[in-house]
Structure 1
Amino acid sequence: MTVPLPVVFIHGLWLHSSSWQPWIGLFREKGYAASAPRWPDDPDTVEAARRDPESVAGRGIDDVVDHYAALIEDLPVRPVVIGHSFGGTIAQKPLGQDRAAAAVAIDAAQIKGVLPLPLSALKATFPVFRNPANRRRSVSLTAKQFRFAFGNAVTEEESAALHARWTVPAPGKPLFEAASAIFSLHSPAKVDTMNSGRGPLLLVSGGKDHTVPQVVTRATLKQYRHSEAVTDFIDFPDRGHSLTIDGGWREVADTVLTWLRQRSPETGR
C-alpha cells in the first residue's frame, strides 16, 4: 500500500494556521496527506489567539524550527514543506537538513546572507521594530497596517475582510533575529544553502509585495547559487503578501502543484 506523501504547511507572522484550509482541501483532493500544524503555543482558533495575545510572546525562529522538526520526525516519509512569509524561511531549514523531500517558500522572509532591506519592508515591519521591547512581546496589526503589509494588491474591502478573518498577534522575536542575522555567526535565520543533495526548492514571489519585495526573494535565490540541487523561482507580478489567502490563492496553489509534479519523482502525482 502506497503511503500518501505528507505536505506540511507552515504559516508566517500574523496569520493563523487555519488560513491554509483551502490549500489543505485542494492538496488532499490531489492525493497528498496535507496538514497545517500551528506554531508552538499558538491557540486553536483565530478568536482564541486574539483573546490571549501573549501566548506566543518570546517565541523565536529556533523554537518554531524545532517544533516542526519534531512533527516531521513522526511522519512515515519525508514531507513536502510549504511555507509563507516566515513560514517560508522555516520551510528552507528542514530541506537543507535533508528532512524534507521538497520545499516551497512563498514570499519568504530573509535568511542569513540576504542583505536587501527595501523601504517598504521597513514600513511593513515598523509595528514591531518601533519598540525594542517588542522582541519579548507579541504584536498585532491594525487593518490599516495589514492593508500596507499584506493587502495592497487587493481591494480595500477584501483587505479588510482578510484582516478580520485571519489575523492574529505574532511574536516580535523572529523579526529581530532576521534583522540581526548578519552580525551573528550562528543566527537562527541561517539555512544550509550549499547542500547539493537536497530535494528541489521553489521560491515564489509576489511582484507587488511590500513586506517581502521581489528583490529579497531574488537575493535569496542567489544564496543557493553554489548548490547543484534544483532551485526554481516563480513570480506573480501583480500579487502582494496576501497571495496565499486572497481571492487569487488558487492560481498560486495550482502553480505549486504543477511544479511538484514536474520537479520531483518523489513528489509526483
Structure 2
Amino acid sequence: MKKANSKTIVFITGNFVTHHGWDSWKHYFKEKGFTVYNPSWPHKNAVPAELRNKRPDDYQLAKLSLKDVVNHYEYFINQLSEKPILIGHSMGGLITQILVSRGVAEAAVVIHSVPPLGVIPFEFTFLKSTWKSLGLFTSLDKTYMMSFKDWQYTFTNGMSLEEQKKAYEENTIPESKRVSRGALSLVAKIDFKKPHAPLLFIAGGKDNIMPATLNKRNFQSYKDTGSITGFKEFEGNNHFVLGLPNWQEVASYIHEWLN
C-alpha cells in the first residue's frame, strides 16, 4: 500500500479504562517521528484513582453517550492541520470506524474493535463479558464500574494474579452505560459499501470480550474493492493488548503497515 503521508496520530481509547494506557505507545510513535495526540473522553481527564472515587450517580459521566464521544473526537480532529492516522482500541476501535466513515482520517488501525451495528456478536465469551456493562434493568443515571473478577475474565485472562491486580489499579475507571448501549444504536451504523481510508484490523487469539472471530467478521464486512483493508491476528493476546509484554511487537506491525 502507498505510504501514509500524515505524520499525525490520534489515539482513541475504549471504555472502562484510562486514556493513559496509550502512554508507552505515544512514546514509541514519537520516536518514529510522529506528532501524537491522546485526548481523553469527556469528563475522564484525570487519573484512575480520582475517577474511581466519584459517585456512581456522577451526572456528567453517567449522561455521556456514544454520540457525545464520537463528536468529541471529530471536533478534536477537525482542529488539526492535516487528516491524522487514527488508532483505536475496543470501543475506541468502533469510534475509529465511525470516524473513518465520516472521512476525517487518512488511515486507521482498530485494535480488538467493538463491532458496528449489523456485525452480529454471537460468541459466548463476548456475551458473558459485556452484558453487565449494558446495565440492563439498572439505572442509566448511574455509572458502571467493572469488578476485579470481571476484569480478570474480560481483559487480563491468562495473566498472573499480580499482573492482573496491577493492571486493574492502573487502568480501570467508571463508565457510562449509555456509551455501551450506543454500540447497539444507529450511532454505530456504518455503510460498509462506501469507499474509505486504509483500515487495518488487529485481533487477539485469547481475547474473551472481542474474540478474533468477531474481529474477522468485522473486517470482512467492508465491501468496497477499491479501498484497502487489512487483518492481523496475534494468537496469544488478550484484550489488555496495549499493556501486554509484546505490545511493541503489535505497535511495530502497525508502523510497518502504515509505511
* Distance in 1 separating the partners of 2:234 and 2:39: 26
Identical pairs, percent: 29
Q: CA deviation at 1:216?
A: 1.2
Identify which of 153, 165, 173 aligns with 1:148: 153
**Count of aligned positions:** 252
TM-score between the two structures when normalised by the length of structure 1: 0.88
Runs of 4+ in 1 over 6 A off after TM superposition: none
* Amino acid corresponding to residue 246 of structure 1 in structure 2: L
Q: Secondary structure at the match of 1:244?
A: helix
Q: CA deviation at 1:116?
A: 2.5
Q: CA deviation at 1:240?
A: 0.6
Residues 254/199 of structure 1: CA separation in 2 closer, same or farther (3 Å cut): same
* Distance in 2 separating the partners of 1:222 and 1:228: 14
Q: CA deviation at 1:143?
A: 1.5
1:38-84: CA deviation from partner (whole Å, max 9, x where unpaired): 01121322122112253421212111110001000000100001000
Determine the structure 2 residue equivalent to 1:233: 231
Tell me, yes or no, if structure 1 residue 137 matches structure 2 residue 118. no
Determine the structure 2 residue equivalent to 1:75: 80
Determine the structure 1 residue equivalent to 2:8: 6
Determine the structure 2 residue equivalent to 1:244: 242
* Distance in 1 separating the partners of 2:209 and 2:70: 21
Determine the structure 2 residue equivalent to 1:255: 253
Matches within 5 A, 1:1-269: 5-52=7-54, 54=58, 55-129=60-134, 131-178=136-183, 180-181=184-185, 187-196=186-195, 198-261=196-259
Across the aligned residues of Structure 1 and Structure 2, the Cα RMSD in angstroms comes to 1.7
Q: Secondary structure at the match of 2:138?
A: helix
Q: Is the 8 A contact 2:6 2:106 kept in 1?
A: no
Q: Is the 8 A contact 1:4 1:33 kept in 2?
A: no
Deviates more, 1:11-20 or 1:222-231: 222-231
Q: CA deviation at 1:30?
A: 0.5
* Distance in 2 separating the partners of 1:146 and 1:33: 32
TM-score between the two structures when normalised by the length of structure 2: 0.92
* Distance in 1 separating the partners of 2:197 and 2:224: 15
Deviates more, 1:55-64 or 1:146-155: 55-64
Q: Is the 8 A contact 1:6 1:33 kept in 2?
A: yes
* Distance in 1 separating the partners of 2:150 and 2:123: 17
Q: Is the 8 A contact 1:27 1:34 kept in 2?
A: yes
Residues 205/79 of structure 1: CA separation in 2 closer, same or farther (3 Å cut): same
Q: Is the 8 A contact 1:135 1:176 kept in 2?
A: no
* Distance in 2 separating the partners of 1:72 and 1:245: 25
Q: CA deviation at 1:130?
A: 5.3
Residues 110/161 of structure 1: CA separation in 2 closer, same or farther (3 Å cut): same
* Amino acid corresponding to residue 176 of structure 2 in structure 1: P
- 5+ residue gaps, structure 2: none
